[in-house]
Amino acid sequence: MHAPTRCAIVPPYLLVRLARLDDPRFAAAAEAARQSLLRDSPLRTHREVAHPPHRPDVRGGGPARVPGRIDRSVSDAAGLERLPGRLVRSEGHPPVPDVTVQEAWDGLGSTHDLFWSRFQRDSVDGRGLSLDATVHYGRNYDNAFWDGERMVFGDGDGQVFNRFTASLTVIGHELTHGVTQFTANLTYQGQSGAVNESMSDVFGSLVEQHARGQSTAEAGWLIGEGLFTDQVQGVALRSMKAPGTAYNDDLLGRDPQPDSMAGYVETEDDNGGVHLNSGIPNRAFYLVAEALGGNAWEAPGQIWYDTLTSGTLGNSVTFAAFARATARAAVKRYGIGSEEHRAVVAGWTTVGLGSGLAAGLGTGRPGGTTRPEAQRPEQQRPGQQRPE
């Protein structure tokens, strides 16, 4: 088994488009995109281990660790590409003037708080793993990523992208790749990779909503809001509420995410479309949250968390299998035919993945969510063209 690919927030197709710009006004942004793509190429390789080794508590001699107590650190790469960089803040030390350090610090805390307070998960590995981050990575680096052990943030190019600590959803998104790594360990390719990306978008959004006290109706459901400068016609990298609408810009083109299986993108790029087709399960989650109302980190988030940690997801899970797993999780926690179960079925049905999920609703028959004959997503793909 392989460790997950190091997962970056900005899709490669966006950087490729920027790298091809020949407008002299954006020469710096184009060069930054080219250099970012070069730096990111190792992120698409795999290491021959199932998980990174669990780092033991080396504080010896002190009191036993308290479950749920956060342990975090932020280091400064100072424009270099060496990790971890110089340690600039750790637990028990005061804030530093650098706003990027503070944003990373607060984002680590907000993510830990969601997973511990709502799901009783003790850090990304469930065992109190230290949450570590590095800021100021590289020169004008247009990305942020989870490398299997830590969060790494670039400062952006200043023309198209702002600093990557500016968005709490980015921090929550990338740390959730760590949660997925230590639970379902989903293969970062094709539909399982898109589920992996969607899980990070779901919980990245929930981290922000939980920190801000936003209800489902109040939330913006945007991933990477604030990353674009005011020179870009766009609000975020992705919209969970309305995939395909996050940006429409002369430089970046139009957001290519599909919002249902009718627009499923067949491509070999982007690890088989992991950032593209994640719009489909993203919208399904939003629709579940919309139907249930209240706070999305409650029933909807609990169902998705139960699914991720159930131990039943195959590493190469398909969209259809993942949809069935969420329906099973809803039944297990809330009961067959419950409001929560019905919302899950309706959400997946709207995006074209409801086949087989509604069996047993209102009949009292268990097992209606586990029919193996559910329609295969391959039967629903129209072969949409890949984005340029």
* Domain count for the chain: 1
The answer as to whether 369 is a domain residue is no
pLDDT at 7: 85
pLDDT score at 221: 98
Q: Please tell me the predicted confidence (pLDDT) of residue 20.
A: 95
Within a domain: residue 282?
yes
Quick check: is 61 in a domain? no
pLDDT at residue 289 tops 90: yes
pTM here? 0.88
- Residues with catalytic annotation? 174, 275
Q: Binning pLDDT at 50, 70 and 90, where does residue 362 land?
A: low
Is residue 145 over pLDDT 80? Answer: yes
Give pLDDT, residue 356: 83
CATH number at residue 263: 1.10.390.10
3-state secondary structure the chain: CCCCCCEECCCHHHHHHHHCCCCHHHHHHHHHHHHHHHHHHHHHCCCCCCCCCCCCCCCCCCCCCCCCCCCEEEEECCCCCCCCCEEEEECCCCCCCCHHHHHHHHHHHHHHHHHHHHHCCCCCCCCCCCEEEEECCCCCCCCEEECCCCEEECCCCCCCECCHHHCHHHHHHHHHHHHHHHCCCCCCCHHHHHHHHHHHHHHHHHHHHHHHCCCCCCCCCEECCCCECCCCCECCCEECCCCCCCEEECCCEECCCCCCHHHCECCCHHHHHCCCCCHHHHHHHHHHHHHHCCCCCCHHHHHHHHHHCCCCCCCCCCHHHHHHHHHHHHHHHHCCCCHHHHHHHHHHHHCCCCCCCCCCCCCCCCCCCCCCCCCCHHHHCCCECCCC
Establish if 145 belongs to a structural domain.
yes
Q: Position 147: which residue type? A: D
Residue 149's domain comprises 7-43+69-351
Residue 49 pLDDT class (50, 70, 90 cuts): very low
Tell me, yes or no, whether 58 lies in a domain: no
* Share above pLDDT 90 across residues of the chain, in percent, rounded to a whole number: 81
pLDDT at 315 over 70: yes
Q: Is 120 a domain residue?
A: yes
User: HSE of 353 in the Cβ direction (CA atoms, 13 Å)?
Assistant: 31
Cα 280 to Cα 86, 191, 208, 222, 268, distances in angstroms: 40, 10, 21, 15, 18
Within-domain flag for 380: no
CA distance 211 to 109: 10
pLDDT digits 0-9 by tens, 370-384: 333 333 333 333 344
Q: Is pLDDT larger for residue 1 or for residue 32? A: 32
Q: Does the residue 147 lie in any domain?
A: yes
Q: What is the mean pLDDT of residues 237-257?
A: 96
